[in-house]
Chain A
Amino acid sequence: MDEIGKVFQNKTNIKVQYTYSGSACLLAQIDNSRQGDAYMPGEWFYMEQADEKGYLTEVERIAYVIPVIGVAKGNPKKVRGLRDLARKDLRVGIGDPHATALGKQAYIVLKNAGLQEEVISNLTTSAATVPELGNAIKLGHLDAAIVWDAVAHWYPEDIDIVLIEPEYNEVSTVPLGTLEFAEDPQAAKKFLDFVASDEGKAIFKKHGYSLTPNLEL
């Protein structure tokens, strides 16, 4: 997002200010402050909530994030799929299901596979933010964690991806929406159009996000 902000500013001379936080937290902030020009949650679900409250003026799908199992480089514990996350010899992490879109999605995926109880009781941690999981794998505190493919791409030296069985997996859409509280609706619209343009999406792709619902390795 930082890079997009810079490119956008160079093009339009409009400066973008970001507040980074979990999807639900941001929505709560919008709820309370009635401020902000645009909202980008990690999951479509939060966009629906924002829409129900009548906050949105326009929405675009920007990228897709796909749950994968992140493991240490070389997969030393030989994790092959979701079922392995119930293995007692593994230290497993997922996102907090209330605070993060990733955690919510992980619960759904595990439920699809009928593994929810087994894996949840085997958890070492549930993280309040997504990058915590990547850091914990990198530092060896976790053997495996359900993370977004994009997050795993941030650690090319330290993290390998194990695919989740497609029949259980659920791809998430990362949307961007302009808010009705926008002080300058035209500038907000320009920003939305830029991020949704090929140029904007290319920046997402560069940072590991998928532009189609299929995993691109």
Chain B
Amino acid sequence: MKNSIFIVLIFSFLLNVSCVTDQPCTQTKYVKLTVGFYHVNYNDTIYTRSSLNIDSLSVQGLIIDSLTGQYHLVDSILYKNKKNISSIDLPLNNNSSQSKFKLKFNTTLDTMTIYHTNLNDYLSLECGCIKTHSIDTIITTNHFIDSVRIIIHDVNTYNAENIRLYK
């Protein structure tokens, strides 16, 4: 009886200490804008939507130079000649209210500018903070892209299609 009480005491004490040890972050912190590609078919006054596979796609960010006011390409390429692709995930700029991308569909170039509001989202001491975004407006050039539609304005860590690009 005395032994069991002693064991309970030691166990409780260790439990008390272990409750405040470091824990790793288990939450996902990757905030992404998901873009889906679609083709619109028009057939006798009926519009139908179908997923579009792009044969070859390259995507790169464009960042404005604060001194010259000119856009230049971000060093890292997000997608480089990616084959047979129907959706992409893009990171939005945490420190700016606009994110601009150069999209190369096969051989045709387009740019897409996304205007967004950035929000700080604190997760925990272990995980820190993430920036989530709320899409305000999207402007594209129309060489390959026909139109764009915002499906979900909130950009966060969830797997959800935010915008649709129509050919």
Partners in one complex: no
A→B interface (CB under 8 Å): none
B→A interface (CB under 8 Å): none
